Amino acid sequence: MGHKCFISFKTEDIFYKRYIHDNMDVDMIDKSLHEPINSDNEDYIMRRIRQDYLSDSTVTIFLIGERSAENIAGENQNFLKRELQASLYHGEGNTKSGILGIVLPEMYNSIYKGSGICTSCGKSHNYVNINKNTVISEFAYNYYIPNNKCSWSEDDRYCVLVRWDDFELDPNTYIDKAFNKRSHPISIKTKVKP
């Protein structure tokens, strides 16, 4: 069974959003946040975004491109941040969504850094560069949820990460993975505003 997906993306990456919409068997809610919601009440803002934009979606797909990072000078990330915050928000009548980060091809070299031997445990780890220089903090924190260990297993992460090429071959497997995190024990450790 397909899960309804909301896609969070920067305008520069609209090609990929359209490609998912037109060429993949993905059940999408085709809306994105364009107007700020005028209120100082955080719960109200989150509720409105969930009702008006994410409504019945259960998975948010975050397209990770060259303009998706927290630390990009002159880049307004408010909409991306709000969409992910609302996805993580668990309130009355709204359950949080699974979050699937898709690394777009131009970001492969910035994010996937190979593997190496860990100085703490002596084992080999894969280096995946998910931080404020590659994504917004809402994704970074909930991918690398602090755990006092030297590495993260799949069970230690709420956000799911996939390369565009792998997603394209089998989108629903990765969407299911993100959906299943909603009922996984790690879901209680997520943060809406890291």
Give pLDDT tens digits along the chain (194 positions).
578 899 999 999 999 999 998 999 888 877 666 666 778 887 787 778 778 877 788 999 999 999 999 999 888 888 899 889 989 988 766 789 999 999 999 999 999 999 999 999 999 999 999 999 999 999 999 999 999 999 999 999 999 999 999 999 999 999 999 999 999 999 999 999 99
Tally of domains in the chain: 1
Domain annotation covers residue 29? yes
Q: Is residue 76 part of a domain?
A: yes
Give domain status of residue 194, yes or no.
Answer: no
Q: Are 60 and 6 within 8 A, CB to CB?
A: yes
Q: Does 181 fall in a domain?
A: yes
Query: Is the CB of residue 45 less than 8 Å from the CB of residue 101?
Result: no
* Per-residue pLDDT at 127: 94
Residue 62 lies in a domain: yes
Residue 166 in any domain: the answer is yes
Residue 62 φ/ψ, nearest 5 degrees:
-110, 115
Domain enclosing residue 144, as ranges = 5-189
pTM for this predicted structure:
0.92
Is 119 domain-assigned?
yes
Is the residue at 19 inside a domain? yes
Q: How many residues are there in the chain?
A: 194
